[in-house]
Structure 1
Amino acid sequence: MKIVKDGIRGSNNMFGHTHDEHFSIDCFAYKSKMNHWNPTYKVFLALVTIIMCLVLNNLFVSLFVIMAMTYLIVVKSGLNMREYISVMSIPFTFLLLATLAVGFDFSRHPAGEINMDLGYFYLITSKRSLLEMFRLFIRSYAAVSALQMMTLTTSSSEIISVLKKMHVPVIVIEMMNMIYRYIFILLELNNKMKKSAHARLGYCDFRTACYSFGSIAGNILVVSLKKAETYYNAMEARCYDGEYSFLQENKKTEGVHIAGASVFVAFLLIIWFATK
């Protein structure tokens, strides 16, 4: 499992999160105060929350889910707020750009309640479109918050164990785990090559930067193939027979956790009935 070597960067920062300047989710999961919780419980809580966000499609339900997941991750799990914002900034930006297409449109003629002349075309929108964009963003962000609660408090090996219990096809689980682990290998290679290029003034101007980018991309392709072969040989040397096996700790589900999840789901339904 990918564990960050420089995970603890100082006494003022409880959680380190980088490996050669890249995020490692497992570092958060292993140091989480919720790590002793039953992984099956956390996975099903995240799935139920995501389903309720999408099915209920209620703005107030989604807002409550965001606040509840933030509380679990920051307060119960112990993740620093600055680190949590850093982790959520990537899906936040992606969702914002994705939902802009719902709120805004382009036209050759002025239309809608609000329009802006950009010369060759108009940027148009309406209050209804903006509201729909906001609702879609909040609902999607709430679902992502629930997913992040699971990934930031549950290691990938435990998630894989839960998927096996759910009888997910073995090939899907194996591919998911290998792709997840190989991503960090490629990120580390890319980071080392970029540092080497910077040391040789490979980004001194735009033309040189483009050349360096192309060279790094080509080198990563070649090196990644060699790394893949080495990675597979290492697995075979450890008696790999086509299926991963992880040593799992038996973590019991506490009654207070089940009660808390029941109250949480009931409160979501109450909010939905009161605001629909």
Structure 2
Amino acid sequence: MMMIDKLAYSSRLRDKSPALKASLAVGTLLICVGARSFMVSLITIIVMGGLTVLSSRISLLKYLKLMSIPFGFMVLSTIAIVINLSDKPMDLLSVPVGSGYLAISYHSLTEGILLVMVALASVSCLYFLTLSTAMLDILEVLRRLHCPILMVELMMLIYRYIFVILDMASAITTSQHCRLGNKDFMTELRSMGQMLAVLLVRSLKRSSQLFDAMESRCYDGEIRVLRESYTAEKRELIGTAGFLAAMLAIAILCRLKGIGLW
């Protein structure tokens, strides 16, 4: 979490218009999900991944590690789609189980691969946005889109408290390690339980202190911060619109001609 925040603030695109970056990321995501095409998903992964690696001062290896986190969940959730319980064998693989078969058909396998590709492409769009745009800028975009103030305020407070809790957890864990709190598995489990118990009490106390500090500064239900002014250059607008138009054209072509569809 902290690494993502640091990368967002050190990105070469940090000073570019957050509204334009959000339009590029969300627009590409919607086209990718709507097209459900292997070709469109592959192009999205390559383009968004390339933009993220080149702009966010992150190595390709670290980016692939970030992508591997959701990839594991995608594979596990796709197993239920790929493997079917059938009363007759299927064309790709069939394993007898009692009176039926655990079977994999060509159709279910391709559907599973397509689902993973679309999900990875969507994640790459969101990584591009989060690794190039600070959270405060994203929240400012939501404000300008007239999202409910309560929702934006909750997002800001939750985002702040994540770092508060991570900082406390890191300090407690370091203290436990200095006292050999991880010398074996059972000791580590006991240390983990103690850390979580202490973390709950301290986080509640810290949140109360932070709220008191906010109220002492005339907090009235809305956190007001200085807003930076961003202006998108003409070539950036043309480039973003051109890319989205090209992706939309490719998606329509794939849908009409069946190219890259499984």
Q: TM-score of the superposition, structure 2-length normalised? A: 0.87
How far apart, CA to CA, are the structure 2 residues paired with 1:269 and 1:238? 49
Q: 2: distance between equivalents of 1:226 and 1:217? A: 14
2:103 partner SS: strand
Deviation of 1:100 after TM superposition, in Å, equals: 2.6
CA gap 1:197/1:255 in 2 versus in 1, 3 angstroms? same
The yes-or-no answer on 1:35 pairing with 2:14 is yes
Q: 1:210, 1:29 → 2: CA distance?
A: 34
Matches within 5 A, 1:1-276: 23-105=2-84, 111-112=89-90, 113-116=92-95, 123-276=102-255
Q: Deviations over 1:108-147 (max 9, x none)?
A: x78433135799x975322221111110011011111111
| Mapped partners of 1:192, 1:247: distance in 2 | 31
**Seq. identity, %:** 36
Instruction: Structure 2 unaligned segments of length 5 or more: list them.
Output: 256-262
**Inter-partner Cα distance in structure 2 for 1:201 and 1:122:** 51
Q: 1:95 to 1:217 in 2, by over 3 A?
A: same
Task: Determine the C-alpha separation between the residues in 2 that align with 1:77 and 1:206.
Answer: 38
**Per residue, is there more helix in 1 or in 2?**
2
Question: Which amino acid is the alignment partner of residue 218 of structure 1?
Answer: A
Give the direction of change, closer, same or farther, for the CA distance of 1:126–1:174 in structure 2 (3 Å limit): same
The code of the aligned residue for 2:109 comes to L
Residues 85, 235 of structure 1: CA spacing in aligned structure 2 closer, same or farther, 3 A cutoff? Answer: farther
Find the aligned partners of 1:217 and 1:111 in 2 and give their Cα distance.
49
User: How many angstroms apart in 1 are the aligned matches of 2:251 and 2:27?
Assistant: 15
Mean alpha-carbon deviation: is it higher for 68-77 or for 142-151? 68-77
Distance 1:23 1:100, change over 3 A: farther
Letter in 2 for 1:35: R
Query: Equivalent residue of 2:115, what SS?
Result: helix
Q: Distance in 1 between matches of 2:199 and 2:115?
A: 37
Give the drift of 1:76: 3.7
Q: For residues 190 and 177 of structure 2, what CA distance do their matches in structure 1 show? A: 12
RMSD: 2.4
After TM superposition, give the deviation of residue 229 of structure 1 in Å.
0.7
| Distance across 1 between alignment mates of 2:242 and 2:75 | 31
Q: Secondary structure at the match of 1:201?
A: coil
- What is the number of residues matched between the two proteins? 254
- TM normalised by structure 1 equals 0.83
Distance of 2:101 and 2:177 partners within structure 1: 42
User: CA offsets per residue over residues 57-107 of structure 1, 9 Å max, x none?
Assistant: 111111111111012112244433233223323222222222232223467
Q: Distance in 1 between matches of 2:55 and 2:39?
A: 23
Give the secondary structure class of the aligned counterpart of 1:115. Answer: strand
